[in-house]
């Protein structure tokens, strides 16, 4: 039995976004990054630019296949 806190499992954040209102949907997968860091537009170097439109955001690897089917996405970014 080890002492101390058990190691934290890495969380997967899945984001579906568009570059324009009627544009193609893209998906990005981030490991060990919280949703707040993605949404925050005031960061020095934001993960997604402010002009991108976020369609869906969620936690978990199971959402990758779900979002691929809903938005007809072929590959990840």
Q: What are phi and psi of 54, to 5 degrees?
A: -85, 120
Find the mean pLDDT for residues 28-55.
Answer: 90
pLDDT at 1 exceeding the cut of 70: no
Q: Where are the alpha helices (DSSP H) in the chain?
A: 35-39, 62-71
7 has a pLDDT exceeding 80: no
Q: Please write the tens of the pLDDT for every residue from 57-69.
A: 999 999 999 999 9
∠62-68-49 over CA atoms, to 5°? 95
pLDDT digits (tens, 9 = 90+) for 41-53: 788 888 999 899 9
Task: Give the pLDDT score at 22.
Answer: 94
Give the residue-averaged pLDDT of 37-44: 87
Q: In this structure, are residues 64 and 14 in contact, taking their beta carbons and an 8 Å threshold?
A: yes
As a whole number of angstroms, the distance between CA 5 and CA 28 comes to 30
């Amino acid at each position: 039995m080890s002492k101390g806190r058990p190691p934290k499992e890495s969380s997967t954040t899945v984001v579906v976004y568009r570059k324009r209102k009627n544009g193609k949907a893209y998906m990005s997968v981030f490991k060990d990054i919280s949703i707040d860091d993605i949404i925050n537009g005031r960061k020095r170097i934001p993960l997604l630019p402010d002009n991108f439109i976020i369609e869906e955001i969620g936690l978990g690897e199971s959402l990758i296949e779900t979002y691929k089917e809903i938005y007809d996405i072929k590959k990840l970014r």
